[in-house]
Amino acid sequence: MKAHEMFLNSIENKEQFWAEQADQIHWFKKPQTILSQGENNYPVWFADGELNACYLAIDKHIEDDYGDQVAYIYDSPVTDTKQKITFNELKENVSKFAGGLQSLGLKKGDNAIIYMPMIPQAAYAMLACARLGLTHSVVLGAFAPHE
């Protein structure tokens, strides 16, 4: 299916289209309701579904045997640093960061603010928050001209 056809299908047959898309990802709890109306008549997608973005970004690829492939490339023209990080390395660093957040007492539903330069650790922090179910806000590159 071409991109324009997919776009039209997503508009004309919303629920069917997005139900088919939802079948393509791993859910901890697969949604039965695709589209519903929330508070103030606001549309809510997959209200009864449960997934974890960090699992989908890292663990699923490792389970599919891509652990040794590059997941993240860090290339800083400021520090002339180049680094390739595999899915296995990414999972290890994210898990350590998540453990640190847990040791501080953070848990699912808590809020975190990430204020870091654009370095790999910023990605680890965001993914660690997603892994734990923390709501996070990010301010990247707001300081540290030398990263």
Q: How far apart are CA 6 and CA 137, in angstroms?
A: 32
Residue 5 has pLDDT above 80, yes or no: yes
Residue 143 has pLDDT above 60, yes or no: no
Percent of the chain topping pLDDT 90: 86
pLDDT digits (tens, 9 = 90+) for 47-99: 999 999 999 999 999 999 999 999 999 999 888 999 999 999 999 999 999 99
What is the pLDDT at residue 66? Answer: 98
What is the pLDDT at residue 118? Answer: 87
What is the pLDDT at residue 85? Answer: 98
Percent of the chain topping pLDDT 70: 94
Q: How far apart are CA 61 and CA 76, in angstroms?
A: 26
What is the pLDDT at residue 57? Answer: 96
What is the pLDDT at residue 65? Answer: 98
pLDDT digits (tens, 9 = 90+) for 94-138: 999 999 999 999 999 999 999 988 899 999 999 999 999 999 888
What is the pLDDT at residue 117? Answer: 86
What is the pLDDT at residue 146? Answer: 55
